[in-house]
């Protein structure tokens, strides 16, 4: 593997040495442009990942808020149901008390 890499580098160096100055300048400019493009793409990719991470964090926060709101609503509903059950039990007890006077003849 190392021999192949050295041979390839040597061939590339000889090829570059055989080129005219204009060809070398053009090749260097193309390589520099490609490197700049790759850097810009890497920056764009990193920004996209950061944006996606921010969106995911916001969604998780919103989901947590919605769960807290749902829990509060469930608590309120349970308290209302308990209050209604207590009121119904009190009404039943009052009705029963109104209809019983301890007299076996009238009950």
**DSSP for 54-93, written as a single string:** HHHHHHHHHHHHHHHHHHHHHHHHHHHHHHHHHHHHHHHH
- The pLDDT value recorded for residue 101 is 65
Per-residue pLDDT band for 69 (boundaries 50, 70, 90) equals: very high
- The pLDDT value recorded for residue 8 is 61
How many CA atoms does the CB half-sphere of 55 hold within 13 Å?
A: 6
Per-residue pLDDT band for 93 (boundaries 50, 70, 90) equals: confident
Share above pLDDT 70 across residues of the chain, in percent, rounded to a whole number: 69
Q: pTM of the entire structure?
A: 0.46
Q: Is pLDDT above 60 for 5?
A: no
Exposure class string for 71-100: b at 16+ Cβ within 10 A, else e: eeeeeeeeeeeeeeeeeeeeeeeeeeeeee
Segment 75-99 mean pLDDT: 87
């Amino acid at each position: 593997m190392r021999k192949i890499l050295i041979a390839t580098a040597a061939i590339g160096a000889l090829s570059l040495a055989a080129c005219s100055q204009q060809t070398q300048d053009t090749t260097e400019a193309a390589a520099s442009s490609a490197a700049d493009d790759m850097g810009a793409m890497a920056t764009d990719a990193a920004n996209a990942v950061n944006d996606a991470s921010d969106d995911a964090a916001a969604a998780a926060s919103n989901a947590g808020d919605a769960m807290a709101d749902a829990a509060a609503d469930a608590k309120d509903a349970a308290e209302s149901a308990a209050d209604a059950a207590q009121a119904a039990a009190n009404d039943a007890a009052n009705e029963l008390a109104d209809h019983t006077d301890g007299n076996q003849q009238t009950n």
